[in-house]
Chain A
Amino acid sequence: MAISKSKDLLGQLSQLERTVSEFSFEELNTNDANELKDSFNSFRNSLEKHIYSPKTAQIAHKKNETFDTVKKEVSEKQFIANVSHEIRTPLNSIIGFANLLKEEKLTQGQHKKVNAIQFASNTLLNLINEVLEYSKISSGNTNFESVEFNLHSLLKDVMFLCETLIVDGKVELLIDIDENVPKIVKGDPSKLSQVLLNLLGNAVKFVDRGYIKLEVFTKQRNDNEFLVEFSVADTGIGITQEKIDTIFNGYTQAEDDTAKKYGGTGLGLTITKEIIEKLNGEIEIDSTVNKGTTVRFRMPYTLGKTTKAPINKLQKSTDKIDSELLAGTEILVFEDNKMNQHLIVEQLTQWGCTVHADIDLDKGLYLLSSRKIDLILMDLKMPGQNGFEVSKAIRDHKNSRVNSVPIIAFSADFTEQDSKDCKEIGINDFLLKPYTLDNLLNIILKNKEIKNEQTDFSSILQKPMIEPKETTVLDLNHLMKDCFGEIDMLNELVKLFKLNAIEFIGNVKIHLKTQNLKEVALSAHKLKAGFAMIKAEGMRNLIIELEKSCKTNQPEKVEELYEVFLSDYPILEDNINKSLELMNKK
């Protein structure tokens, strides 16, 4: 595993280097370019040092002769973990500076090359994160916990999440829990969800039509110890026995080229297998090509003693009164992990909150200054961006509207140092993962109140928004049809549309200052067609209203509508980007 993955890593790296060296930094002549170059060089040096340093070579050599292979493997994994970890820091600077570089005035050719740098470094980062996770688990550096949890609720949560992943209704998701399966068990709930999400997520990826079925039953019972058998069956494309062998054994058999074949995602099942085995479980795959796949795994659990185990149930009974209190709350979520992000957005939306997730620092700051955000949820240990740094940047912002929003941090582990750092930065509260929905609800309510005290009555003035605001809704499908399904044309039109909207914002700002309502009306008039094209009827009506108010000479109303436009347009644009991204993927 270690060697083939390292090879892959080196391959990616030389691709990255090729792109960087083809890039004409001299032409660019900016500080960013130099810093990017420096970062890259230090990155390469640190990597080379790690791979070729005499110390490691010596150890590897010695091991071959004297130590048994198991120990060698562990040490190799440890080594890879260390290397991967240290590569991430300079790699993050490469990505960061490439982002900055993109904001400069670049020629088309340069722009393309920066894109290539970004693409290669992001691929590399994903690969490193996977390698890191794998080696963490297999070298025993992951903490496994043993707590009581509600197994039935966990299964329902997982299924609920998977349902949201199925886009077209052609795949049915079935669940069958045997009545003998106990409710409260003792074990590691977060690892179980990770395993299930991985297997079900894979199934969703490879099944076009038919069903995906999760069956759970208890296999064997000795007093309060028992095995729970999980089976994930699907009607997908299936996999050959050869591939199954590679996935399950291949990575440990060193020099193998399969890693290349499976690209960056090949580790998912291997990680799953490692987790199950670390928890003293077993896993097997049964698959027929073009018919489907069944993955079975068994995990030992002990019977939970209390019935007061954390309730990780989704909505339903979660008291209506509490969730009503949250309706209309607007929350920023910094969470890199897509699954967690998805889950938290689903839940908060059900509580009636407006949620902005999938954001980076820049976008977050923009939203904080342009909207009335009540609360920030911050994952401290994000692989891509550091939660401490993001929080600090928010607290250091000069705009009091931005820097005063309460921040709740969450993390899977929380050390003394973390606690100190949080206090220093000004993070208001924290939540330990895995948290229950009650935990989440309570901590949000608690911290939202702090904000309410600070801002007096401003939050009372805010109307609750349970439904997405009309002005932020759109539908690109119509325009896509007008483009005869040509995605490039659609991309082009959307780009033009966004430019028009920005031009409108600027024009109106200028003409409102001089009370030139005629010009404002003209700008509004021009924007109408665009909103009609993307079927953003709510926003189009707002623009029509604004144009009318200009013609009937009501400057106050014009200004009021313009304010609404300013606050809602970013969300609309965000929604445009999201649906465009989806269409591009298709």
Chain B
Amino acid sequence: MKYIVCLKQVPETDKVKINPETGTLIREGVKSIINPYDLYALEAALKAKDAYGGKIVVISMGPPQTEEALREAIAYGADEAILLSDRAFAGADTLATSYTLAQAIKKIGDYNIIFCGKQAIDGDTAQVGPELAYRLGLPYATYVHKFEIKDGSLIVERDLDDGTQVLKLNLPALVTIVKEIGEPRVPSIRGKMKAKKAKIPIWTAGEIEADEEKIGLNGSPTRVVNVFSPPARGKKEIFTGKPDECVKQLCERLGEVISI
């Protein structure tokens, strides 16, 4: 079995502020971390490796310092890591990102399951996983919290608003993973020692035979017009008392609002 995990290095968003004048994130002095949902994806791959054996390859597209995140992934238990880094990749939206990842995964080849986090906590689009599956022509399932390989197929349970859906996917397949897969394990001492020594190859646009028109800013139709913190919500009313009294008060109040 070969598992590929896609991960993204993101700023620790709860500490990021937005520059109200330029509408961009102020990243200075903010620590970079592995996108938490991608850590769940890595944990899913580690669970698969524990159960079925095999090898985990982690890939990430990003600037050279993304290597840190990949070393951390090795400390968690990944076997290999590849960094996709090239100035030409810069400014990529999800379309260009999924293209770049797909080109790299085609080069890696011979994989069984691709694990992605359900979304990244900086962009929050949840698009890259499904786009990647489409580009690779793979069956996929999003929001997966449980899986097993049975008779050569991947059986997954995915979260829906009103319940759980069970799907059977032919392998190879792609899944995006949610928190309920389980807390990521603690990196081991041996893993950390291995991570320190690991050689992480850097693949450029040329090495993955990427079409220059489909990567980075060139390949990104999305334009971010503005980023802003939503204004604080208006006046709140709090009803106190026994539940039935509160409900009564609320209904009366709603009646007033609606009649206006």
Say if A and B assemble together: no
- Chain A contacts to B: CB under 8 angstroms: none
